Amino acid sequence: MVSAVLFLAVAYLSYRFNGLSWVTVTLLVLVPIGIAGAADTLTQRIELHREHIVVVRNLRRREYPRHMFVKAQWGKGVPVSLQSTSGQWIHLPGVEGTSQGLVNTLRAWLKD
């Protein structure tokens, strides 16, 4: 949200001193992108349910059955990921807490 406010403030100053220029228009175009980024950051989450996992990221909600995954993994500089039975990796969004804590929680959830 801070980025959207900064884009708007600098766009105002640019318009005030230079009139309507390409810089002003570019900054005004970036305002809704900043708002969308803030909304995405505030809404991304992972929900663990008994038989499925819900991943909310990029303002999209996806639900995966529990039996679809074989293991959870993470590494330095790599997001927490779940490997499906077909070998495909599902990368999870970064959420509050540590990656190691999230992987431990997912491993316990997969064992249940």
Indicate whether 61 and 30 sit together in one domain.
Answer: no
Confidence class for position 65, pLDDT limits 50, 70, 90: very high
Whether residue 104 sits in one domain with residue 57: yes
**More confident: 56 or 94:** 56
Contact 85, 69 (CB under 8 A): yes
Q: From 45, 104, 112, select the one nearest 72 (Cα to Cα).
A: 104
Residue 37, CA distances (Å) to 3, 4, 6, 43, 87 in order: 9, 9, 14, 10, 31
Give the mean model confidence (pLDDT) for residues 65-87: 90
Residue 51 sits in the same domain as residue 105: yes
pLDDT confidence tier of residue 83, bands split at 50, 70 and 90: very high
Same domain? 58 vs 9: no
Question: What total number of domains does the chain contain?
Answer: 2
DSSP class of residue 19? -
Give the per-residue pLDDT at 99.
84
Q: Same domain for 22 and 66?
A: no
Give residue 53's pLDDT.
Answer: 94
- Residue 77: what pLDDT? 82
DSSP string over 56-102 = EETTEEEEEEGGGEEEEEEETTEEEEEEETTS-EEEPPP-SS-HHHH
What pLDDT does residue 49 have? Answer: 94
Which residues form the domain of 91?
Answer: 45-111
Res 6: pLDDT:
87
Which residues, including other chains, have CB under 8 Å from residue 18's CB and lie 6 or more apart? 24
Say whether both 50 and 15 belong to one domain: no
pLDDT digits (tens, 9 = 90+) for 13-61: 989 998 899 989 999 999 999 898 888 888 889 999 999 999 998 888 9
